[in-house]
Amino acid sequence: MEMREIGHSGIIVNGLGMGCWAIGGGSWWGESDDRMSVDTIYRAARLGIEWIDTARVYGFGHSEEVVGRALRSMQRHKVILSTKCALQWDTQEGEYHFSRDGHDVYRTLTPASIRRDLEKSLQTLKTDYIDVLYTHWQCREYGLVPVDETMGELIKMKKEGKIRAIGASNVSLQVLKDYAATGELDVIQEKLSIVDRKPEAELLPFCEAHGSRCRPIRRLSRDCSPDRFRMIMCLRLEVCGTGNSGGGVRIFGKSMRCFADGRI
């Protein structure tokens, strides 16, 4: 399996990861079986999936609790653990983001708020460091919290050894440029699939030019029905060709090829 460095962090990881949003349950995904979730994380690790991705807001802390439970029986140094900060539901600080399951959630990227998120995540996940910490959502009003203030706190966390790599999610090109100008951004996490390819236009070229990675999510598109998926695959095959001669969408500076049997 191909191994890649996460930006310039020195963290080497393969291209597969396990997203743990659904593990949080709640009205997003319905009730979940925590024992099954823990067993799934164990199974993923045995199959070579070492990057486990969660967020504070997934299940309003429940996803991190379940991941932390799994980590207790794993060799921590063999797991690449990422989580996300900047969404708060125990304070009305910042910009209103959404309401769900009785919680009002706010975006805030102040140094104090992301520091508070980190400490809560460390406690919930039962670990003394996070491999990758993402800012989950950026300011709705551009510049409300200057990126250099947010990045300054993230750099402090990295120097303290509490995080190993800095990431950002749901970014615009301007915000991405601000992160790159004020510090070293190792990775972004964005929706990128055969039906949602917007990052290809601006974000991926910028990341490739500046040594940052893009961690795609929803590669098969969460909102894509099986029939629609088959139709899109047929269209992609027609455009790209079949066998080993096809072209394709660029991810991590590589070419994702479409094959006649439907593999990508």
3-state secondary structure the chain: CCEEECCCCCCEEECCEEECCHHHCHHHHCCCCHHHHHHHHHHHHHCCCCEEECCCCHHHHHHHHHHHHHHCCCCHHHCEEEEEECEECCCCCCEEEEEECCEEEEECCCHHHHHHHHHHHHHHHCCCCEEEEEECCCCCCCCCCCHHHHHHHHHHHHHCCCEEEEEEECCCHHHHHHHHHHCCCCEEEEECCCCCCHHHCCHHHHHHHHCCEEEEECCCCCCCCHHHHHHHHHHHHHHHCCHHHCCEEEECCEEEECCCCCCC
Q: Report pLDDT digits (tens) over 48-92.
A: 999 999 999 999 999 999 999 999 999 999 999 999 999 999 999
Structural Rg of the chain based on CA atoms: 19
Reading the block at residue 238, the tokens are: 């027609």
Gap between the Cα atoms of 5 and 10, Å rounded:
6
Gap between the Cα atoms of 85 and 258, Å rounded:
35
Contacts of 230 (CB under 8 A, 6+ apart): 262
Mean pLDDT on 109-130: 98
- Of the chain, the percentage scoring pLDDT greater than 70 comes to 82
What is the pLDDT at residue 196? 81
111-125, 186-200, 233-247, range with the lowest pLDDT: 233-247
What is the pLDDT at residue 192? 87
Q: Report pLDDT digits (tens) over 154-208.
A: 999 999 999 999 999 999 999 999 999 999 999 999 988 888 888 889 999 999 9
Beta-bridged to residue 17, according to DSSP, are 51
Reading the block at residue 120, the tokens are: 């809560």
* Residue 264 binned pLDDT confidence (cut-offs 50, 70, 90): very low
Mean pLDDT on 38-44: 97
CB of 184 closer than 8 Å to CB of 152: no
What is the pLDDT at residue 220? 59
Global pTM? 0.84
What is the pLDDT at residue 238? 36
Q: Specify whether 129 is catalytic.
A: no
What CA–CA distances, in Å, run from 51 to 11, 17, 90, 142? 11, 5, 28, 31
Q: Which domains does the chain have, with CATH numbers?
A: 3-191 (3.20.20.100)
User: Beta 95-100 vs 103-107: how paired, if at all?
Assistant: antiparallel
What is the pLDDT at residue 15? 83
Mean pLDDT on 98-126: 98
What is the pLDDT at residue 193? 83
The yes-or-no verdict on residue 261 having pLDDT over 60 is no
CB of 231 closer than 8 Å to CB of 205: no
What is the pLDDT at residue 224? 55
What is the pLDDT at residue 221? 52
Gap between the Cα atoms of 243 and 89, Å rounded:
50
The yes-or-no verdict on residue 250 having pLDDT over 50 is no
Identify the active-site residue in 58, 106, 134, 179. 58
Mean pLDDT on 1-30: 92
The yes-or-no verdict on residue 241 having pLDDT over 60 is no
The yes-or-no verdict on residue 18 having pLDDT over 50 is yes
Residues in the chain: 264
What CA–CA distances, in Å, run from 33 to 18, 40, 66, 263? 17, 10, 10, 31
